[in-house]
A and B are shown apart, each in its own frame.
Chain A
Amino acid sequence: MSEVHVALRGVTRVFPATAAQREVRALGPIDLDLMRGEFFVVVGPSGCGKSTLLEIIAGLNRPTEGAVTLEGNPVAGEVPEGIGVVFQEDASFPWLTVTDNIAFGLRQTALDKAEIATRVDHALRLMGLTDFAAAYPVQLSGGMRQRVCLARTLVQRPRVILLDEPFGALDQQTRFLMGDELLRLWRDSGATVMLITHSLDEAGMLADRIGVMSARPGRMLEIIETRWGEERGSRVVATPRFGEITARLWQLLRDESQRAMAGA
């Protein structure tokens, strides 16, 4: 875990003034290295630009200044090969079955049908969706739809997986279970993961490192190393170390959240 996988240098994002509002400095400057194969979690007060940061890394949004590189190649306003994103909102396509949703991205590539079928079957089993392969998203719960989106991302075998509060709309128990599942997927895939969350518990139990962002314009206040080994996830929530981590996170975020609230 020593090789830099994604690098951000002096990244800022300024939303230009419109008729409705003045120029908004949303983000940065941010310098950040994501190491190959690590589980990095970003926490920060509401509106601090976490989602903008993720979109810039994914190439969905351009930085106003600064640069992002993936494996040494610049990411410039176009989604590079090798990146997968799971969004907070349900992005499963309602007009496709679960199977067709998961296969959607693969069918846009030159991959042959047998390989697509194998990968989709594997993802269905991995995500516990086999019984719902022919169902439409409308027939599934919110948690299962998010699993469809996760599966759709995983079948493309991304080397970097970006998750923007994917479990934000789910209840606490489901979130814990999805967190454990996410850890399993991360270990199996060996991908570099960046997860945005507003849950300090989720950050504390999943991450290798936690980046704490300031109120807008979002900068990295501090990066906390959790020093978890294999043993992490919902199993560690009762340990003293977990308490230390979340206490430190809250200490950092309390003032920032108040500032964000006052500014809002």
Chain B
Amino acid sequence: MRTLRAAILIACVLAAWQALFAFAGASALTSPRDTIAYAAELLSSPGFYPHLIETAQAFAVALAIAISCGILIGFTLGLYRFAADVGEPVLVALYSIPKITLYPIVLLAFGIGMPAKIAFGAIHGIMPIAIFALGAARNLNPVYLKAARVMRLPPSRIAARVLLPAAIPEIFTGIRIGFSLTLIGTLLGEMFASQRGIGHLLIQAIGLHNVRMIMALTLLLVVVAVTASALLLAVDRRLRRHMFGAP
């Protein structure tokens, strides 16, 4: 049933794409068939891989930073009332400003290259993860903490063995959202002042009006993001069913 629905959805997207192609013409976009063919060609050309690896590396590091810092910030704010009173409005304000406005500062701070991309990816991903971790820590059932204290666990173990596992489903939701934002951030970081990476290829193709390249890269990014999102959602559902018996 679920596979059928997914197939219908994909068919609709392809049909709409084809229709748009018929309407707008080859100067604006390429047809689904051409795009898929060119994407396959890109994937089989050795010149493409350094860019792919560059982006994958930047993204992986950025995501790791976003997850660890996000959880740390979220837990700190969730557990200490004073920190939350001060930090939460700041967090929400940071979440709502367009991160692109910070880009010049990031560039000046980290210089051109890998560190700037990573930093820009990470600042996109940290916020949602921190906000979900904060919610999880704040909503932690107090009886779990009491039970852990009665079993004489030191605070560090309580954080690792009780707070973290109890918060996993909510953190995972944060990671699911943080994942796509980190990817966006990393690509944005590559689009300016960068020599390599998918984002760099994209902005170069835009400059050269290379529609095939733009479309093929977009398709590849969509496939990666949708697949990752679906996987994370499946894990998310599993965790929730496991712990809360949610359907």
- Smallest CB gap from B157: residue in A: A108
Q: Which residue of A85, A93, A108, A152 is within 8 Å of B146 (Cβ)? A: A85
B195 at the interface (CB under 8 A from A): no
Residues of B within 8 A of A94 (CB): 166, 242-244
A201 at the interface (CB under 8 A from B): no
Interface residues of A in 40-97 (CB under 8 A from B): 58, 60, 79, 81, 83-85, 87, 89-91, 93-96
B245 at the interface (CB under 8 A from A): yes
**A60-B168 CB under 8 A given contacts A95-B242, A138-B242, A138-B244:** no
- Smallest CB gap from B146: residue in A: A60
Interface residues of B in 140-179 (CB under 8 A from A): 141, 143-144, 146-147, 149-153, 157, 161-162, 165-166, 168
Residues of B within 8 A of A156 (CB): 151
Check A79 against B152 for contact (C-beta < 8 Å).
yes
A136 at the interface (CB under 8 A from B): yes
Place the interface of chain A in its size category.
20 to 34
Residues of A within 8 A of B141 (CB): 89, 91
Check A138 against B243 for contact (C-beta < 8 Å).
yes
Complex Cα distance, B147 from A84, in Å, reads: 9
A104 at the interface (CB under 8 A from B): yes
How many positions in chain B have a CB within 8 Å of any CB in the partner chain? 20
A105 at the interface (CB under 8 A from B): yes
Check A81 against B150 for contact (C-beta < 8 Å).
no
Residue of A58, A83, A93, A149 most packed against chain B (CB within 10 A): A93
**A93-B166 CB under 8 A given contacts A87-B146, A108-B157, A138-B242:** yes
**A93-B143 CB under 8 A given contacts A108-B151, A138-B242:** no
CB distance from A99 to the nearest CB of B (A): 15
- Smallest CB gap from B246: residue in A: A138
Complex Cα distance, B241 from A139, in Å, reads: 10
Q: Which residue of B146, B243, B244 is within 8 Å of A91 (Cβ)? A: B146
Check B150 against A85 for contact (C-beta < 8 Å).
yes
Residues of A within 8 A of B242 (CB): 94-95, 136, 138
CB distance from A146 to the nearest CB of B (A): 12
- Smallest CB gap from A93: residue in B: B144
- Seen from chain A, the residues whose Cβ lies within 8 Å of a Cβ on chain B are 58, 60, 79, 81, 83-85, 87, 89-91, 93-96, 104-105, 108, 136, 138-139, 149, 152-153, 156
For this complex, 5 residue pairs linking A to B, each with C-beta atoms less than 8 Å apart, are A95-B165, A95-B242, A105-B152, A108-B152, A153-B150
